[in-house]
C-alpha cells in the first residue's frame, strides 16, 4: 500500500516534523557548520562543492571520493 497516497495529509506532517530540525540547523549555522556539528547531516551528505563525499556512492560508481572538505 502506498501510505503517502493513502494518507497525504498525515504523511506531509510526518515528513515536515522529521525534516524541520535539519532545516533549522542549516538556516541557523549554514551548510558547512551544520555538517560539522551534526553526525546525521554528515552521514546524509553525498556531494559538497561539486565533489563526491560519500564513500559508498564512490565505490558503487568507481568515482574518487573527497572526504575532508571542511
CA within 13 Å, CB half, 44: 10
pLDDT of residue 1: 60
- 19-68 tens-digit pLDDT: 999 999 999 999 999 999 999 999 899 999 899 999 999 999 999 999 77
Q: What is the phi/psi pair of residue 38, to 5°?
A: -130, 115
pLDDT category, 4, cuts 50, 70, 90? low
Whole-angstrom Cα distance, residue 2 to residue 21?
Answer: 26
Whole-model pTM? 0.72
Amino acid at each position: 500500500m502506498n501510505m503517502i497516497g493513502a494518507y497525504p495529509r498525515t504523511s506531509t506532517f510526518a515528513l515536515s516534523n522529521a525534516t524541520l530540525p535539519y532545516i533549522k540547523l542549516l538556516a541557523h549555522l549554514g551548510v558547512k557548520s551544520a555538517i560539522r556539528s551534526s553526525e546525521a547531516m554528515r552521514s546524509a551528505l553525498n556531494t559538497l562543492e561539486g565533489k563526491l563525499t560519500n564513500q559508498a556512492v564512490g565505490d558503487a560508481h568507481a568515482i574518487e571520493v573527497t572526504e575532508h572538505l571542511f
